[in-house]
Structures are given as structure tokens and as C-alpha cells.
Amino acid sequence: MKTEIESKSLLARYGIATTNPRLATSTAEAAAIIAQAGRPCAMKIVSPNIVHKVAAGGVRLSVETNAAAETFTAIMEACRASSPDAALDGVLIEEMVAPGLEVFVGARVDPQYGTVLLLGPGGSNVEQGQKPTAALAPVTPEMVDRMIAAAFPGAFDADNTAARETLKRYVLAIGGEDGLMLKERIGELDVNPIIINGSGAIAVDAVASVLPEGMDERRMSHAELAAALDRRRARLGNFSALFDPTSIAFVGASTQKEKLGYRVIRNMLDFGFKGQIYPIHPSAEEICGLKAYKSVADIPGPVERAYVAVANRQVPDVLRTCREKGVRVAQVLTAGFSEYSPDSGDLEQRMLNEVRAGDMRMVGPNCMGTFSASARLPLTAPQYCPSEPGSITFFAQSGTFAIDAIIRGRVMGLPVGRVLSCGNCADLDLLDYLLYAERDPATKIVAFYIETLDEPGLFFRAVQQMKKPVIILRGGTTDQGLTAAASHTAALATDQTLWKAGLDQSGVLQVDTMDQLMDALLVLTAHGRLDGNRLGIFGSGGGVSVTSADTAARVGMNIPQLSHETRERFKRFGVPGTSVSNPVDIPVWGFRENGRYILEEIINIFKSDTNIDTIIVYISMNGILDFAVDEEDGWRQLNEICGSLTQVNRDGPALSVVLRGSGDKSQDDFLREQRVKLLSHGIAVFSSTTRAVLAQSMLMRASQRTQENGSV
């Protein structure tokens, strides 16, 4: 660890103003330095082993000349008592800085996130105060602007823009592309506080530690990031065998219909897999009408892909045979490795050794399989699998969620084209799959279910360079303990803080439930992007409008006033109970004119309003059925309403429709049917206005990043 004098010298080289510290090693030197300064000074212990100087009793402020010797002695004695093993170099003495806004800037090279930057309120109680704003370095000027606004809302008005610009320059000098954290071998830095007074800013205290050996590539400059991603891409090679293999061997095939080794092969045949299937069984002659082989080595032709479903102890030997045969991707369905018991670590290492002895790559272990509509490769029973190639690719560390995405995607009419159950990710990991999806021309939307992510910093930085929307459903969170942290930066750079920074910076859309994930996929498929947060709401029912507006406010969607022209045009629908303010409330009997439903005319008026970016229309199925002559007439009217929606002008603001039901099976079935039909017209259908509003906010967040990076 560098002393404060050394640390401040480093800051000064990068243009950061600091106090002018001098070192006293005796009581006489302390008195002489303060006398020479001619004003009260701060006195602080200098030790490579003491970071928290205040806690150690090593700081005194506003010391006069006549108290210098006594204070020097008191500091040394206090630090010897609190830190008996610490090396004490002496006491640093510097002039007191006038009070002002105290700022903390921290930076570290994190093993998982690379170089990270922290900015927040400073002072001696920084760890107990407001949590800092974090970012992954290198930061840009625009990113620093956002960090300052988030960390110090309202602190920099028009009268102190100069101080704000100085702070911005300091932050860039630490964590920008040419900043000291990217140029020097510094592993951790605390600058606390920087005191901002008037237009000036001065670093009062600073401590830096040397970058540990082996951590250089974690610093993540633009060049280091590009090199790291290129190394990953090179390991992927030709990855077509992942979702479009021409041949598959199933090691662990079974003759028993209730076994996995039979069902997978049967499902591939029934779904119409386009390639060759080779069952591997120690004694069977045939399985599902296909010739069986005792070993992958016995197969006469080439094999691109292998499923492995044998006892965990057999897996390494099977993988060796697959590698020697020239298999390009092996997927190990077998569980019982590191996720099962620490004692299985040796077995998992043997498995990885076999994989890494050649060019073969491995999916899993502990997974369910692969779905590919283009290759007719099923992950579940064929009747539940979408049959047409699609633009959504989903990678899941849970087999259950992988199957959920397939089945629910088919029910919703979503273009789910590829789903991979990837399990433990012992070899190929989520970053590999992200890089695959980035370059896959068939993939337009990328989604993940994540439980563990080994290199989140690299993952988020890779997403930041992508144009395709990325959605994450995260299955667990962890946090580092604070009490054992060696510095403010280490204490504050928790997993949750850095994960949130990665999300914010990369534009990844994180959702909390599978329902939210499917809604995000629906609205992205239907609308692609959203250019603003101005929401128009139209339907029949004032209470629904009010609660929808409340939800919109909570998630950052704005419900603006309609233009004067729009309000005038809406007056023609002025039946009793009509409100032409946004949200627009028109009773169900106002939806009809001259014996037909005219929703498309009402919605097209909404679409012509330049104050609106997206529209939600809600329809109460009960309301329509209640006013119908009979049930048959009610369903006819609901079909007519949905038919009128297909006539809406597709230009202009996006349209989402809410079919509000009672939970009745017939109404639920109608909703599912119309969701598929209307999606082909660019209309997203939801079961509640709350879900519709939340989906618009998710689309807004996803669009903000793709707008910055350029849409696909």
C-alpha cells in the first residue's frame, strides 16, 4: 500500500489538486512544520498498514503550533495501541482546507467486474451514509455526468458549474480511458474527501494500493476488453453445431419408453429432426427404429453433436470418446458434479480436462437439452414446441424455465427459435452464449435465466457493445460482507452495487419473474422499440384508468395532456360518461357507431397526437358480454372489436391491448387466441393494464440502450 504522500503525488500527476502534505517523524519536526505554515493544520498518521486512520486514532484537526508536539505523541501512541503490528512512518501535516461539499471517489480492480469506479458523498462516515453511484471503467464524460447527477442531486446549480466540471475532470482522471486506474498498476484507490468549495476542488486524503500480480488483464481498458472478447470468440470456433447440428449421438439411450434416453430420441423423430440420430447403448440392436451402437467410436459417419446421459463417473471417458470422434459440441445432461457435492470437484475437473484436450466444447453438465425450430430439435414433447424458426434465443441455467419459455412462447405466438438449457456452465458459459447470439443472424432478441455469472464485468461490457436487446431473469443475489473490508472502496463495492452498475451501464433489462420475462419478449416482438415514455390510455372504466396512471407514475411512464386538436376530435364520441382527458374514458356503448364498432377510428385519432409515444387500450370482456343480447351475441361483438383493432393504422405510436377478463376459462381462451392473432398485426395483448404498463416501461428501458448503440 502506498503512503498518503505517495498517493497524492500520483493524483497530482493526473491533474488532481491535493493538499501539500509534509512528513514529521518527531515532535520537533511537527512543531516546526505547523509554525512554518502559520495557520492551523491537520495531522494524520502515515502507515502502509492503516487505512482507516480515524478509527485507529490517527487523525487530529485544526492543530495549532503550541499543541503540535503533544498531538504528535498522542497520534503515535493511539496508533500503536490500536494497530500494534503496523509500521508507523510518522505523521503527515498539511494546512486545513475550508469546509465545503465532501466527495468520495473510489476505484478498484475487482476480480469479477474489472476496474470499477465509485462516487458519492464523502467524509469520515462514508460507509454509513448514502450508497455511492458505481460504474464499470473506463467511463465516458456522459457517464460521469449521470454519476454526478445521481450522487449529488441538486448540488451543482448554474452558479457552480465550474466546480462540477472540475469534479468531472477528476473522475475521468481516475476512471476514464486515460485515467490512472487504466494506466498505472493500482489495484485500489480511496480519495476521501475531495472538498469542493466555490469553483475549486481539492483532494484532502488519498490512499492507493498496488495491483496484485496476475490482475493486469482485469483492468479492462478498451484494448484489453477487445482482446478478452476476441479470445472468447476464437474459442467458439464454428458454432453451428450448437443449434443446427447435422448429426446427434445420444449416449445413454434406453429401450424403456419411460426413460429420458428413449423420450429424447422419440421426440426428435416425432418433431422431424433434420439430421442423423445415433442411439448409443451397450447391447440394444435398435431404439425407436434406429440402429444402435455400443460406442460413439463405432458410428460410421461424422458426428457433430452428442447428448450424454450416463452415470457421472462415466462422463469423462464418454467425453474422451466424443472428442476423439470429432464431436464439436457435447451436451452433458448428467447431474452430480460440483453443484451436487464439493467431493465431486475432482470428477468435474477430469471432465473438463477431456473437453479442453481438443477443440470440442461442452454444454452443461446438469441440464435438460436443446430446442431449435430451424433444426427441428425439441426440448420437450413436439406438440408443445413452436414449429417455425424464430428470432428469440433463450439461455437458461434452469431446465424448468427453458421448457417454460418454449411452451409459453408457443401459446403466446412468440417467435421463440432457440432455447438452450445450459446447467452449470462448466465449459461454455453465459458470456460464450452471449457472443454466439451477438453474431447469430437468426437472433434478434437475447434472453437469459441466470443463477451464477463468473465474469459479470466482461459480460456487461460485451452487452454494452451490442445492438440487440438483452433481457435477464436473475435467480439469486449475493452480497459481500462489509465488516472485513480493508478500505472504503472494498466495503462499498458490493456485488449488488456493481451488478446494478453493470445493468445500468450496459442497458440489460433485468426482470424479476417469468411472467415479466414473457411480457418483455411480447412487447419487444410486437413493437421493437419505443422512442419516448409518453403513454396514452383509452378504455371504458375510470377506476382502471386511475390505477393505470398510478402504475405508470411508479415506473417512469408519463401520461401527458392530449393536444387541443385531439380533444376536439374526441368530442364526437361524447356519450354520457365520456372523458376526453388522458386517460380517455368512453363507455362501451360509445365504441359503436351506425351499428358497428369503431375502435380503429378512436385509436387512429390517438395515434395522430404528437404528444403520445405508445397507447394502451383496455376492453372489459365482462362489460361487452353483459350488454349483449345473449352470450353468442357477446362473443360475436368481442370478435368484431378485435377485428376492428386489426384495421388500426400501423404507423405512429405502438398499440397494446388489454382484454380484461374474470378468470373464466372461455374468456382466458379468447384472450390467448386473440394474443396470437393480434401479434401478427404488431399489437401486444395483455391480461391486465398493470402488466401492459410495466411492459411499456420495460420496452422503454430496452430501447434506450439500442437507440444509443444503433438498432438491429
Can you give the CATH number for the domain in which 446 is found?
3.40.50.720
| pLDDT band (50, 70, 90) for residue 487 | low
* Tally of domains in the chain: 4
Q: Which of 63, 57, 48, 61 is nearest to 78 (CA)?
A: 57
Residues 373 and 439 in one domain: yes
Q: Which of 98, 97, 91 is nearest to 68 (CA)?
A: 91
**Angstrom distance (rounded) from CA 527 to CA 519:** 12
Residues 14 and 163 in one domain: yes
Mean pLDDT of 428-456: 96
Residues 328 and 339 in one domain: yes
Query: Residue 707: its pLDDT value, please?
Result: 60
Can you give the CATH number for the domain in which 570 is found?
3.40.50.261
- Considering only residues 244 and 591, tell me which one the structure prediction assigns the higher pLDDT: 244
Give the bridge partners for 685, in sequence order.
Answer: 657
Query: Residue 712: its pLDDT value, please?
Result: 38
The torsion region of residue 42 among left (phi > 0), alpha (psi -120 to 50) and beta comes to beta
Sequence-separated (6 or more) residues with CB below 8 Å from residue 332? 308, 315, 319, 351, 362, 363, 364, 365, 366, 367, 423
- Considering only residues 545 and 449, tell me which one the structure prediction assigns the higher pLDDT: 449
Can you give the CATH number for the domain in which 211 is found?
3.30.470.20
In 414-426, which positions are buried (b, 16+ CB within 10 angstroms) versus exposed (e)?
A: bbbbbbbbbbbbb
Q: Looking at 44, 69, 96, which one is the last position of a domain? A: 96
Query: Residue 708: its pLDDT value, please?
Result: 59
Q: Flag whether pLDDT at 92 surpasses 90.
A: yes
Residue with cell 460410421: 300
Give the bridge partners for 290, in sequence order.
Answer: 287
Helices (H), ranges, 467-573: 488-492, 495-506, 514-527, 542-554, 564-570
Residues 543 and 628 in one domain: yes
In a domain, 270, yes or no: yes
Q: Flag whether pLDDT at 472 surpasses 60.
A: yes
pTM of the predicted model, to two decimals?
0.91
| pLDDT band (50, 70, 90) for residue 711 | very low
| pLDDT band (50, 70, 90) for residue 100 | very high
Mean pLDDT of 631-645: 94
Mean pLDDT of 513-522: 97
Can you give the CATH number for the domain in which 52 is found?
3.30.1490.20
Residues 45 and 162 in one domain: no
Q: Give per-residue pLDDT as tens, 549-583.
A: 999 999 999 999 999 999 888 877 766 556 778 89
Sequence-separated (6 or more) residues with CB below 8 Å from residue 342? none
**Angstrom distance (rounded) from CA 226 to CA 233:** 10
Residues 460 and 565 in one domain: no
**Angstrom distance (rounded) from CA 269 to CA 121:** 63
Q: Give per-residue pLDDT as tens, 365-406.
A: 999 999 999 999 999 999 999 999 999 999 999 999 999 999
Q: Flag whether pLDDT at 216 surpasses 90.
A: no
Name residue 425's amino acid. C
**3-state DSSP helix/strand/coil % of the chain, to nearest 5:** 40, 20, 35
In a domain, 382, yes or no: yes
Instruction: Mean pLDDT check: name the lowest of 565-579, 619-633, 645-659.
Output: 565-579
Residues 599 and 694 in one domain: yes
Residues 168 and 300 in one domain: no
Mean pLDDT of 276-302: 97
Q: Looking at 410, 441, 476, which one is the last position of a domain? A: 476
Name residue 472's amino acid. I
In a domain, 490, yes or no: no
In a domain, 564, yes or no: yes
Q: Give per-residue pLDDT as tens, 534-544.
A: 999 998 877 88
In a domain, 518, yes or no: no
In a domain, 12, yes or no: yes
**Angstrom distance (rounded) from CA 108 to CA 211:** 9
Distance of CA 644 to the CA centre of its chain: 38
Mean pLDDT of 684-699: 96
**CA-CA distances (angstroms) from residue 410 to 223, 277, 392, 416, 673?**
42, 25, 12, 7, 12
Domain that holds residue 563: 525-709
Residues 371 and 434 in one domain: yes
Q: Flag whether pLDDT at 600 surpasses 60.
A: yes
Residues 438 and 382 in one domain: yes
| pLDDT band (50, 70, 90) for residue 484 | very low
Q: Looking at 80, 96, 112, which one is the last position of a domain? A: 96
**Would you state the torsion angle of the CA atoms of residues 461, 464, 467, 473, taken in this order, to the nearest 10 degrees?**
80
In a domain, 493, yes or no: no
Residues 530 and 399 in one domain: no
Query: Residue 646: its pLDDT value, please?
Result: 94
Residue with cell 451490442: 466
Residues 315 and 188 in one domain: no
Instruction: Mean pLDDT check: name the lowest of 116-120, 244-248, 523-527, 598-602.
Output: 598-602
Q: Flag whether pLDDT at 483 surpasses 70.
A: no
**Angstrom distance (rounded) from CA 32 to CA 19:** 18
Q: Flag whether pLDDT at 485 surpasses 80.
A: no
Task: Give the β-pairing of 596-597 and 592-593.
Answer: antiparallel
- Considering only residues 126 and 14, tell me which one the structure prediction assigns the higher pLDDT: 14
Sequence-separated (6 or more) residues with CB below 8 Å from residue 81? 57
Q: Flag whether pLDDT at 597 surpasses 90.
A: no
Query: Residue 63: its pLDDT value, please?
Result: 96
**Would you state the torsion angle of the CA atoms of residues 460, 465, 471, 474, taken in this order, to the nearest 10 degrees?**
-10
Mean pLDDT of 274-286: 97
- Phi, psi dihedrals of residue 216, rounded to the nearest 5°: -60, -45
Q: Among 154-158, 324-328, 622-626, which range has the highest average pLDDT?
A: 324-328
Q: Flag whether pLDDT at 691 surpasses 60.
A: yes
Q: Flag whether pLDDT at 56 surpasses 80.
A: yes
Q: Flag whether pLDDT at 709 surpasses 70.
A: no
Q: Flag whether pLDDT at 486 surpasses 80.
A: no
Set of cell numbers at residue 712:
438491429
In a domain, 489, yes or no: no
Q: Among 212-221, 324-333, 566-575, which range has the highest average pLDDT?
A: 324-333
Give the bridge partners for 618, in sequence order.
Answer: 539, 658
Instruction: Mean pLDDT check: name the lowest of 299-308, 476-485, 506-515, 582-591.
Output: 476-485
Q: Flag whether pLDDT at 611 surpasses 50.
A: yes
Burial label for 485, CB within 10 Å (0-12, 13-18, 19+), is middle
Query: Residue 478: its pLDDT value, please?
Result: 47
Instruction: Mean pLDDT check: name the lowest of 179-188, 587-596, 606-615, 670-679.
Output: 587-596
Q: Among 185-189, 546-550, 566-570, which range has the highest average pLDDT?
A: 185-189
